[in-house]
Amino acid sequence: MTAFRKSASPAAIASEAASLRWLAAANGAHVVPLLATGPTWLETLRLHAVAATPAAAEAFGRALAATHAAGADWFGQGPPGLAPSDSRLAELPHPVVATAAEAAPSWGPFHAEARVRPYVRLARDRGALTVDDVRVLDAVLTRLEAGDLDAPQPAACPAVARLHGDLWGGNVLWSDDHPDAAGTVTGILIDPAAHGGHAETDLAELALFGSPFLERTLAAYDEASTLADGWRERVGLHQLHMLAVHAALFGGGYGVQLVRAARDHD
């Protein structure tokens, strides 16, 4: 057995390790096995990467629906055992909510206040957004905070889904030697920032930078857990989080993409 070791800050390691355990406990999509952790490192099983197949993409869609259906108790709930102050996404603070009493009443306020606004501020402070850009974003965030853009979860989900939280295509590893699926090409979750949220967010983030046979994944997900009417029109809303993070980290065209997505819903 060969291990893959990564190093990061103590908070980032605590966040990723807790996220891997919580997602694995859902018994849905396969998760890279966590072998060991230290103060500033963790080790996962090193898996053999292969190309995705249409069948694997469909199986991943069904399995991801099961992960989401495992649920969370409130919007912004972090993985068990993770201190809210330790929650991280790419070494940036990644707000989670310690108790149900502190949680937002629905997805829109949570998404605006904990998943978009912090990174919009950071992107603005780093020069990736102009005053006019922030004005456009504020209009959409105000609608989100009012609950105007809320929508139901997929059919199999409880009120709050259990999310990977950073599910761009690179955080699905396609492998044929996962211990629970040896010999079968399987989509495996890596590098999560898990929390309670809306299932459409994970699906929208998969679409942002591309995922192999994505339409097959989405169709299989929809068969396992029917998506609410209008979900395709909400993709841009759910992508605001990751676009804001990328604008804060990298600037450039990500700020332009972020504002373009917001204009569709202002």
Q: What residues have CB less than 8 Å from 168, skipping those under 6 apart?
A: 205, 206, 208, 209, 211, 242
Query: What pLDDT does residue 126 have?
Result: 94
Alpha-helical regions (H) of 70-150: 107-110, 117-125, 131-145
Query: What pLDDT does residue 265 have?
Result: 80
Give whole-number Cα distances, 255 to 120, 121, 165, 241, 259, in Å: 9, 12, 20, 12, 6
Strand pairing class (186-189; 30-31):
parallel
- List the helix and strand counts (H, then E) for the chain: 9, 10
Alpha-helical regions (H) of 6-130: 10-24, 54-69, 107-110, 117-125
Distance CA 158, CA 71 (A): 6
Mean per-residue pLDDT of the chain: 96
Distance CA 157, CA 172 (A): 21
Element (H, E) at 219: helix 214-224
Distance CA 208, CA 20 (A): 22
Query: What pLDDT does residue 18 have?
Result: 98
Query: What pLDDT does residue 252 have?
Result: 80
Give the number of other CB atoms < 10 A from CB of residue 184: 14
CATH architecture entry for 3-263: Alpha-Beta Complex (3.90)
Query: What pLDDT does residue 140 have?
Result: 96
Mapped onto helix, strand or coil, the DSSP state of residue 175 is strand
pLDDT in tens, 114-152: 999 999 999 999 999 999 999 999 999 999 999 999 999
Query: What pLDDT does residue 90 have?
Result: 86
Residues of the chain where predicted confidence (pLDDT) is lower than 50: none
